[in-house]
Amino acid sequence: VKGIALTAAIIWVLLKPASWKRFAVLLIVDWASVAWTFPEHPNHIVFSWLVNSTLLTSLVIVALQNSSETDLASRWYRAFSPWVRIELCVLYFFTVFHKLNTSYFDLDWSCSAKLHREISDWMPLLPGAEWAQYLGVYGTLVIETTIPILLFFGRTRVAGVILGMLFHGLLALHHHPGLFSFSSTMTALFTAFIPLGTAAS
């Protein structure tokens, strides 16, 4: 039942993506669906649930405010975007912090090395040698450190979004649905770092 309701809400939004009301309904359905099956979720699903909580809370606050501005969607975006930016940067902090252990830098145990080997098996053009695996290990650490730094400053924010899209686009090439789901979540959250006019369009 939860899957049917979520699928129906997604299709309803896709039929009219500009409607903030339809998007709000999708958020409610997704929020309830995840909450109903707690705690059996991977970390990024829990994170997206927290982000959805932020979005819905911001919508309630904005809706209750007395404002001369009639465009509620714009006020909603301005209300939630700073908090979503903070949440995304905090997530990147922990993705880097939890990798700072000896096992991560060991090719036999490193999650980055394992992912690199599996992606290279599927894409022969991507080298799978040890040097390439080490590049994946250290490169992942550098990129996941660089993305939030670039996003933090206005002048480098676009570069941070581009780097993040490329990095998570590469991760999405892996066949595991969880990685595709994680990359989709991160890609969607980058919209909180783009100008309001761009987001509205």
How do residues 176-187 score in pLDDT, each as one tens digit?
Answer: 878 888 888 888
* Distance (Å, whole) CA 89 – CA 157: 12
The burial of 192, by beta-carbon neighbours within 10 Å (0-12 exposed, 13-18 middle, 19 or more buried), is given as buried
Place of tokens 């090395």: 113
Query: Residue 45's pLDDT band (boundaries 50, 70, 90)?
Result: confident
Task: Report pLDDT for 199.
Answer: 53
Phi and psi of 154, rounded to 5°?
-60, -40
- Which tokens is 122 given? 């599927």
Percent of the chain with pLDDT over 90: 52
Query: Residue 72's pLDDT band (boundaries 50, 70, 90)?
Result: confident
* Distance (Å, whole) CA 167 – CA 169: 5
Q: List, in sequence order, the alpha helices (H) in 41-175.
A: 43-64, 72-97, 111-122, 130-152, 157-171
Q: Is the pTM of this model over 0.85?
A: no
* Distance (Å, whole) CA 99 – CA 71: 43
Query: How far, rounded to the nearest angstrom, does the alpha carbon of residue 105 sit from its chain's CA centroid?
Result: 25
